[in-house]
């Protein structure tokens, strides 16, 4: 006569041990690998941080260059339209005003110089881009922008020379 299987209490399961399992449980790592991920992360994080800071530094240098370009362009516009005298001070003042209003902290040690070569006039703006980590004073990112063009003047249509 066959016997009926034994009843289990409600909500519980009867489990038999898995055949052939004698080592650590399935989710456990071998004892020698514990903490390896932390060591790997500690080794790679300085490299990742350096790459991120380099990207930020390049972005700040590029933005500083854009500010210097805008200042030199506006200064050159004033220089080209200026009269015979006093145009240098006006052009340099305009370029300095643009640097102060657009990016006062992006460029340090800003130098503005108006120039004239023949019938060409313009402005050159030079400065140092801000550093992300100012621990290396020898590592500076210099930005120089030079814009100019022909002097604007009225030339009469009768063939006479209008610009001195």
Average pLDDT over residues 33-62: 88
Q: Is the dihedral of CA 31, 33, 37, 39 positive or negative?
A: positive
Give residue 30's pLDDT.
57
**pTM of the entire predicted model:** 0.68
Task: Tell me whether residue 5 is in a domain.
Answer: no
CB contact burial 47-80 (16+ within 10 A = b; e otherwise) = eeeeeeeeeebeebbebbbebbbbbbbbbbbbbb
pLDDT tens-digit map of 123-135? 999 999 888 877 6
Nearest partner of 90 among 111, 112, 109, 105, judged by Cα: 112
**Among residues of the chain, what percentage have pLDDT more than 70?**
74
Task: Tell me whether residue 159 is in a domain.
Answer: no
In sequence order, the 6+-apart residues with CB closer than 8 A to the CB of 125 are 68, 71, 72, 75, 95, 99, 110, 111, 112, 143, 144, 145, 146
- 38/23: higher pLDDT: 38
Average pLDDT over residues 35-63: 89
Task: Tell me whether residue 142 is in a domain.
Answer: yes
Distances (CA, A) of 97 to 85, 92, 94, 141: 20, 9, 5, 22
Round to whole Å and give the CA distance between 77 and 21: 84
Task: Tell me whether residue 99 is in a domain.
Answer: yes
Round to whole Å and give the CA distance between 82 and 86: 8
Round to whole Å and give the CA distance between 38 and 58: 30
Instruction: Please give the tally of structural domains in the chain.
Output: 1
Task: Tell me whether residue 35 is in a domain.
Answer: no
Q: Write out the residue range of the structural domain in which residue 118 sits.
A: 43-150
Task: Tell me whether residue 72 is in a domain.
Answer: yes
Give residue 139's pLDDT.
77
List the CATH number of the domain containing 103. Answer: 3.10.450
């Amino acid at each position: 006569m066959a016997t009926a299987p034994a009843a289990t209490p409600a909500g519980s399961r009867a489990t038999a041990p898995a055949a052939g399992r004698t080592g650590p449980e399935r989710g456990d790592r071998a004892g020698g690998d514990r903490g390896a991920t932390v060591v790997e992360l500690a080794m790679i994080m300085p490299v990742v941080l350096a790459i991120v800071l380099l990207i930020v530094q390049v972005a700040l240098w590029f933005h500083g260059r854009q500010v210097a370009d805008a200042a030199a362009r506006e200064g050159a516009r004033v220089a080209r339209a200026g009269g015979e005298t006093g145009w240098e001070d006006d052009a340099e003042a305009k370029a300095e005003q643009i640097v102060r209003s657009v990016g006062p902290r992006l460029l340090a040690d800003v130098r503005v110089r108006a120039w004239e070569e023949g019938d060409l006039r313009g402005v050159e703006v030079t400065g140092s881009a801000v550093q992300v980590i100012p621990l290396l004073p020898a590592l500076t990112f210099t930005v120089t922008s030079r814009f100019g063009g022909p002097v604007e003047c009225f030339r009469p249509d009768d063939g006479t020379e209008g610009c001195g």
